[in-house]
Structure formats: C-alpha cells, structure tokens
Structure 1
Amino acid sequence: MGPVSPAWIDLDGLANMRDLGGTPLADGGEVQPGRLLRSDNLQTLTPADVEELVERRGVTDIVDLRSDVELQLTGPGPLVEVESLTHHHHSFFRERKVAVEDALVLPWRDADARRAEPKDANHWTSHYLGYLADRPDSVSNALRVVAEAEGAAVVHCAAGKDRTGTVVAMALSVAGASDEVISADYLATGERIERVVERLMTIPAYADNLSGRALAEHTPSPDTMPRLLAAIRDTAGSVEGWLRQNGWTEADVAQLRARLTRP
C-alpha cells in the first residue's frame, strides 16, 4: 500500500500540524486517527485552536522537543493553562548550563557547527542520528509518551520537521509502516515549509538563525529518512532494536505498536 495524502489540521496559529491517522501499514492496516499528531511550535495557538485540539481532537499529552534555551526565550504557550493536558519536555540537545542572556547561539547552531557540511540528505541524516547519539533518553522518553497517552499525543519542536520528524519516523516504523510511507510523511512538510519559515521569522529566537538562509536548506529531501532508517538498522537491527538497546522491553514495544494501530 502506498502513501496517502497528509491529514492536515489547519489552525490559525500553526503552519504544519497533521494527524498521522490513516498512514498505511505494510500488513494492510493503518495508523489509528487521534493517536499521534505532529506539529510545529504551539506558542501562537488561538483560543479557538486550543478548543479544537482539546475538545474536538482529544489531545491529552504534549511532547515538546525544543531545547531549554528555546523554552526560556519564547516563554509558555497557551496550552500550559489547560489543566487536562500533560506536558512532557524532552530536549534533543545536550544542554549547556548558561543563562539565556549569555547564550550567544541556540543549541542547533552548535549542532550545525559540529556537523559542518552541505545541507543535503547526508547532512540531515547525520543531524538526526546526532539526536539518537546525544539524547537517547529524550528520544526514548518521547516515544514512551506516545505509547502511554490516554488520548492524542502531539509531538512538536519549532518547525515540526527535524526533531519531530525523527520521533514520528521511529513511531511509524514500529507501527509497521514502510520506509516509502515514512519518507512520504516526512516530505509532506515541504508543502508547508515556506509558511513554516515565515512563521518562525516572526519569532526573535529563530529569526537570527533563519535570516539569509535559502528556503531550499530547510526543504526535506527524499533521501533523508530512508538513510536514517537504514543507519538505525545497521547499528541496532531495527527501530525496535534501538529501543530495546535503550531500556525498552518487548512489552513496551508492543504497547507502542498497539497504541498506534488498534482501535
């Protein structure tokens, strides 16, 4: 079964949210709607957006993959005020213990400097593998939230492409999606990348980093996710194998798969 059209969730305060429900699986099934949502930054949700997510979409858990510095610079978003939600912060960067006013660069700039190479698929694959190497605890814990959430879990970072894309790709792999399908979901952000960048350019914490960079640098490449998944298989056998290497049991893996695939 091939990829399907993205299930976009169009809200006033977002550019890149979609429900992974309907994603086809290799066994002929599909991911259940209302279990896993992916998104860009949730800082500018309107009251109507919040009502849509909480009351109509049944969101119970927010997985925030942004760094400590990002959180301090941008401040709390409106969902923090919703008592029914549980917020989980799992940064994908090795945090430097410095005051915000002394932080001359944001963490992802340090990562770019460590992996200084052209912004092609190899660059992004290396970048994403860096998350697994630098913060396996955060990657594992983000996926555990998805497995244990009572309602819909929203996984987000700033753009909803890189950190979010890594978690979602691993979740879909455990659910039983093919590399082709996982890559198609990752590439769907390309449909909204101009809006994503325009939105982030209005936020000072991101504007300096984005200014002067070509849109093509941010556009997802079709080779990135297949290379990431192949690299995981080369080192751990599978995404499930990577999770087991990081403390998951067979029951834990089965719980994540069941959460995404069973009514």
Structure 2
Amino acid sequence: MATSKADLVKLAATDVNQALTPQEYGPVISAPPFVFLDGTFNTRDLGLVPESPLRANFAFRSGALGGLTDNGKAVLTGKLGVKRVFDLRSPEERTRMPDPVIDGVENTWIQSSKPDSKPDLNKFVAGEGEAGYIDMYLEVIEVYADSWKAILEHVRDRPQEPFLVHCTAGRDRTGVFGGLLLALAGASEDAIATDWQLSRIGTEPVRAMLLEFARKGTDAYGDDQPGFYNLTSLRKSCWGAFANAVEKEYGGFEKFVTDRLGFSQDDLAKIKKNLTNP
C-alpha cells in the first residue's frame, strides 16, 4: 500500500544527522512510489510519485546497479519490464562498479562533456545551501546534456519500452533527470520537489556509505565543516532555487529542451504526450 504524500514528506524532512530506523523506512521503500530492487536502493517509479502526471511503469530512477542480485535483475526485467538503462556516472565510478549485463536490457552510457567539479562547500554555507545547489545543478544540467538528449530521444521514439536512469546515489544527477522529466510531463513544482526529497528516504539503507562518498567528494574534514550539512540535506527551498535558476538561465525546462538540446516543437509535443499517455 502506497504511503500518503503527507507521511512521505514528513519522513523525508527528517534531519540528515538523524538516522531513520529500519522500522521507519522499511515499509516505505517497499511500497509505491518506491520499488524494492534487490541489490540497489533509492529505486522508484516517477509515475507513482504523489500527484505525478507521468504515466506509471515507464520511467524509473535508482542508485547504482552494480550490486543487483539475480532476484533484482528478475524484477527489473519482469515486474518493471525495463528495456534500457541509462548510466549517468563518471568513468571512474563505472570502473569501480560496472553495470551488470542483463539479457534483454540495453545499457547506455555517454561520456559527459567534462568531469563533474567538486562541490564548493563555501557556497553551501549561507541559508539552507541554495547558492551551492544552484551552482552544482546548473553544472549537472550542462555537463550531462548529451545524456538528457539520449533519454528524451528514447521517450520520443520508444514509448513502449520502460527505462531506468541511475547514477551512484540516485540523488543529484538522477534527481535533476527526475525533475526534468516530471516538468516536461506537466508536474507542479511541489510534486517535483517531493520526488527530489524522497531520496532522503531512499538512500537511508546506504546512509553511512553516501556520507563518506560526500566527504571524499568535497574534501570535507568532517561532518561539522560549514556547508557540509546543507549539501547532504535535501530541502525544498534548494530545489526551488535551482528551478528558478533554470527559468532565469534557459527560460525553463521546456526551453532548455528545445533551445539547448535542439528538439523541435513537434519533438517536444511528442515527448510530453509519450510521458503521459501509454
């Protein structure tokens, strides 16, 4: 049974410094919009996020897939019917944990235009870290432009083939993808922010590992370093600040798709239709 939006949002607002118990998060990540995929984490169906206009059983997101068990692979191809996986990770991340080869699943990885910059913790100090998120996510939306284009071409050309997008945590790069897709489907900013914040719950099973990943990725000397707390938190204000920055920089997500990624108005209309109609 799906958890109510109010309960999801309340749990997602739990302070990042406070661990969630398995009793708190276990039932949630085993029910929609989450999908239990053995061997990974933070997996969900973007069509089942509360108030999502995107159709169910088409677009999925998750953390890294390198640890998928045989059961996880069977669920991915059987219950979810995924035909294609898009990997948003760096060459180094892929070398450490390659995506599994699964019969009937096409793996797509496109080298990003340049390596991701290390987040500058100084930019996350003020307020709730809005300036840091704007800086980090505006880079993500540019660096992975070729991947966004390939994903949207899949939506346009292969609407009967469910797909999954992942990075390492399924939180930031995959979060930007989720926001882009939900925006094109016509979701409200509130629904988009809710999906983004759900990674606070979805990453809980690997919380310690991801905090260490964040420490190494920012050269932080400890969890108490100024800015680190805001970087590792997921607050609605930060998604809102990024969405406003996309509006200012590109004219919004739709203009980003046409003017920056080069899709025609007909392409855009087809993508939007395929996101919402089976």
If the length of structure 2 is used for normalisation, what is the TM-score?
0.76
Give aligned pairs, total: 240
- Equivalent residue for 2:251? 237
Question: SS of the counterpart of 2:236?
Answer: coil
> Distance in 2 between the 1:255 and 1:187 partners?
28
RMSD between aligned alpha carbons? Answer: 2.8
1:200 CA displacement: 4.7
> Distance in 1 between the 2:153 and 2:54 partners?
17
Do residues 255 (structure 1) and 262 (structure 2) align? no
Aligned-residue identity in percent: 25
Closer, same or farther: CA 10–176 of 1 in aligned 2, 3 Å: same
Give 5+ residue unaligned stretches, structure 1: 96-107
Q: Is the 8 A contact 2:45 2:59 kept in 1?
A: yes
Greater Cα offset, 159-168 or 4-13: 4-13
Give the partner amino acid of 2:191. V
Question: SS of the counterpart of 2:163?
Answer: strand
> Distance in 1 between the 2:272 and 2:145 partners?
19
Question: SS of the counterpart of 1:59?
Answer: coil
Give the partner amino acid of 1:45. L
Closer, same or farther: CA 169–201 of 1 in aligned 2, 3 Å: closer
> Distance in 2 between the 1:31 and 1:235 partners?
25
Question: SS of the counterpart of 1:154?
Answer: strand
Deviations 1:38-65 (A, max 9, x none): 1011110110010001011110110100
1:138 CA displacement: 2.8
If the length of structure 1 is used for normalisation, what is the TM-score?
0.80
Please, which of 43, 47, 67 is the counterpart of residue 44 of structure 1?
A: 67
- Equivalent residue for 2:141? 132
Do residues 64 (structure 1) and 87 (structure 2) align? yes
- Equivalent residue for 2:123? 117
- Equivalent residue for 2:35? 9
Give 5+ residue unaligned stretches, structure 2: 9-31
Question: SS of the counterpart of 1:160?
Answer: coil
- Equivalent residue for 1:99? none
Closer, same or farther: CA 83–10 of 1 in aligned 2, 3 Å: closer
Closer, same or farther: CA 239–193 of 1 in aligned 2, 3 Å: same
Deviations 1:113-170 (A, max 9, x none): 5x75226132122101012333422333233334434321101000011000101101
- Equivalent residue for 1:103? none
Do residues 55 (structure 1) and 70 (structure 2) align? no
Question: SS of the counterpart of 1:50?
Answer: helix
